[in-house]
Amino acid sequence: MKKTQLLKGVLDGCVLLILQEGEVYGYELVQKLRQAGFTEMVGGTVYPLLQKLEKNGLTNSVKKPSPDGPDRKYYHITEEGREYAEQFIQNWEEMTGSVAAIIEKGKSNE
């Protein structure tokens, strides 16, 4: 199974968790995801995701002056986004617990 397929379902939650730590702009977010272990993360995956999160009201954005040129777009998490992130953590813990149990069972039967 491809790693990207697994990633699709959890990336929304990961991005929201990063945004909980503070505002970020696109490139910063790509770097933070790479540092977190998603080493193959690219802008082409992040921008559509940021668009989706903003349209769904989970994030919002503000333009701030940049010393290098035009105003820069910074993303923030909304209250709705925080609720989603909490739900994500809960679901993730439940799911990883179940998956780990199945893997362990499979290993012990080998």
Partner 1 sequence: MSKQRKKELLEQNNELREKLYPENKQYYEKLLSYMRLGSFFHDPIELEELLLEILQDTVDAQENGDSARDFFGVDAKTAADDCLARIEMKKSEGVKLFGIVLLMSVFLTSMRGLVQPEEGINFVSIFAQILLYSTVIGLFFRWVRKSIYKKTFLANNIFGPIIIAAGMLLFIVPVVLIELLSPESWSVYPSPTIAIGVSILLSIAATIKFVLLPKEEKKAWSGMLPIAWMYTALTILNHWAPFAEWMQEYPLFNGFFPLIFIAICMIINFRVINKEETPEIFEQ
Contacts with partner 1, residue ranges (CB under 8 A): 25-27, 30, 42-45, 47-48, 51-52, 55, 66, 68-70, 72-73
Compute the C-alpha angle 48/49/51, nearest 5°: 65
Nearest CA among 14, 90, 86 for reference residue 50: 14
Compute the least distance from the CB of residue 64 to partner 1, in Å: 12
Distance between CA 42 and CA 51 in Å, rounded?
Answer: 15
| Shortest Å distance, C-beta 47 to partner 1 | 5
CB of 39 to partner 1, least distance (A): 12
Q: Which is nearer to partner 1, 29 or 77 (CB)?
A: 29
In this structure, are residues 24 and 74 in contact, taking their beta carbons and an 8 Å threshold? yes
* Nearest residue to 10 via CA among 78, 102, 93, 92: 92
From the list 2, 3, 12, 8, the residue with the least C-alpha distance to 89 is 12
Tell me how far, at minimum, the Cβ of 88 lies from partner 1, in Å: 21
Nearer to partner 1 among residue 27 and residue 93 (C-beta): 27
Nearer to partner 1, 2 or 107 (CB): 2
Closer residue to partner 1 (CB): 8 or 95: 8
